[in-house]
Structures are given as structure tokens and as C-alpha cells.
Structure 1
Amino acid sequence: MTQPNYILLPVNPVFITFSFVVAFLLNFLPWGGLLGVPDFVALVLVFWSIHQPRKVGIGLAFTMGLIMDVHDSVYLGENALAFTVLSYFAITIHRRVLWFTPFAQSLHVLPLFILAQALQVIVRLIVAPDAHFPGWLVFSQSLVTTILWPLATLILLAPQKRAVDKDHTRPI
């Protein structure tokens, strides 16, 4: 254990809300159909479901999924189903994931992002009469979202790492 262990301050619910608003605004940007654009809402949802499972749960995931369904103009419930499953499995593995470094955590959350995206593709294939498989490159979104996991961890945990009173004689 070469890294210092921080005793984290309690998370502010206003900061959780702010992080979701920023994630929604990033998802709402017109990326122009670029391949591999990360799903910022899914990233923030998984992060808070792992770090604060009592404050961010399946109900919030469902609500955010409905908002993304309306924004993306997709079948109502496609993102809601994916985000609900994503939040459920993130809460299921949250104790295990927190033992690892952010880079190792990204290996644990990669299957979650792929599963959520696969659910979205399956729903489109089942519901749409003329739908066809979009190809394997569609899963590059999950890979890019996973690559952003350590950066998201650094940014979203930063307000909790501040010392309330600085004392240079204590190591923690």
C-alpha cells in the first residue's frame, strides 16, 4: 500500500445533483453521431451507485433513464431499463470494487457498461421491425466510458478529500 489512505468527508447531496446535471449536459451536446462518445450519465450513475449506494439507487437510475429516453427520442424505457440494470449490478459489486485502485476498478465496471449497451441494442432489435445489428464498433462507447473511469474517480472524489482542519502532524 504505497498510496495514502484518505478518510473521506461525507458527500454533499448538492454535489451529487450537480454531477448528474453536468453529466446530462455533456450527454445533451450534439456530438454528431460520433462513434465512441462516452455515456457520461451512465459513468456518473455507476460511480455514485458504487460510492454512495444508499443515496443513489435504482429509482433514480430509472428516472434518469426516462429523461435520456425522451432526449434521445428512442423507445420509451430503453435507457431506463439499461440504467436500472446498470445501477443494480453496480450496487451489487460496490463493496468489492472499492478495494481496488481506480484503474483496476475500471476493469470491474467495463462489463457493466457493455451489458447496459447490449441491453439497449437488444431492445432496439426486438422492438424495431426493420432494425439490424449496428456492428461491434458500437461497443466502443463502453470502452471509452471505462477509460474515463479513473478521471471521473479523481474529479468526483476531490471534494471529499479536503481536510476540514489541516494538521501537518497527522498522516491521514
Structure 2
Amino acid sequence: MTFRGEQELQPARSGFIWGTVWLAFCSELMPLGLRTWAPDLLLMVLLFWGIHQPRRIGLAAAFGFGVLMDVQAASLLGQHALAYAVCMFLAQQARNHLLWHNSGVIQAVYLWPLFMLLQLLLFIPGYLHTQVVPPMQVLWVPLLQTLVWPLLRLALLLPQMQGRDYDQIRRL
């Protein structure tokens, strides 16, 4: 049942879900110099699917891709895995509240503290291990993730939107 002005979504296909996750993972593998300023696209895609399809993408996927990110970044093993799993858990706890708001901008505002927490969870173990303070550009990452969220949300929901309104075609 949809209300006037809302669009009904088709079920998301598993191939599309996992394809977008692997595409986001591959984008994290691209050498763009020091990626301290870039938003964590993999986490954002995992959070999106964890909120919209929690039975398909959950804590195990977040933890597994976090371990892959640890290996890829040659960081402390478990650093990204812990951060991704905690962020996924908190996003799934706030799932109903996030889905209540149909606007990607409002969802992004609610997710901003989660993106800040991610940076903190990545900073603390990394600092304790290496005693190196990351550059100040890291503080821009949560803001960039907040700004990118509505666009990412639209891009991932677009294939699920129905092309036509079946209620106007159906004969009563």
C-alpha cells in the first residue's frame, strides 16, 4: 500500500545487492593517492543495504568486508572489521526510525553521528598501534559521507522503482 505521491518499490535482486557491494569494494581498492579525504563508499553501501535489506546484508557481511579492508589497507587486523560491525549494528537498531523518513537528506542527518563514530573507531586502534595522528582531512570525511548519502540512496533505489502506476491501468 502506498500513499499518494509515494512510489512503490520492487523487491531488490540479490545480484544487484551483491554487485553494488562488490563494486563499492573495488572502488576502495583504486589507488587515488592518500584516500584520507574520500568517503568510505563501501561502508555507505553496506549501511544502505543493511537498513533496506537486513536479512541479506548484516553484521557478518560488514565484518567480512571490514576484514578485507584491513588486509587491503595493511592496517591493524580487525580495525575496519570492528568499525564496520559496530556501525552496521547501530544502523540496524535505528532501521525503523531511518525508514520512517522518506527523505535521503533527513536520513543523512541521522547518519552523521554514525559516520563520526566510524572515524573515531578507526582512529583509536590505529593510534594505539602506530602512535601516528592522522591528518586533519579525516574530519571532513563524515561531512562528505553525509552529503553523498542522498545521492547514493537515490542511485541504489532507482532500479527498484516501478516504471508505471498499475492502479491507473487496472480495471476495477
Question: Quick check: TM above 0.5?
Answer: yes
Q: 1: CA distance between counterparts of 2:19 and 2:152?
A: 14
Alpha carbons 1:69, 1:76 under 8 Å: kept: yes
Matches within 5 A, 1:73-152: 73-100=74-101, 101-128=103-130, 131-152=131-152
Alignment length (residue pairs): 166
Q: 1: CA distance between counterparts of 2:27 and 2:4?
A: 31
Matches within 5 A, 1:40-51: 40-51=41-52
Alpha carbons 2:8, 2:162 under 8 Å: kept: no
Give the deviation of 1:167 after TM superposition: 3.9
Structure 1: any 5+ residue segments left out of the alignment? none
Structure 2: any 5+ residue segments left out of the alignment? none
Q: 2: CA distance between counterparts of 1:126 and 1:36?
A: 21
Counterpart code for 2:86? V
User: Which residue is equivalent to 1:56?
Assistant: 57
Alpha carbons 1:31, 1:37 under 8 Å: kept: no
Q: 2: CA distance between counterparts of 1:105 and 1:22?
A: 23
Alpha carbons 2:50, 2:57 under 8 Å: kept: yes
TM-score by length of 1: 0.89
Q: Stretches of 4+ moved more than 2 A in 1?
A: 132-137, 165-168
Asked if 1:169 corresponds to 2:163, the answer is: no
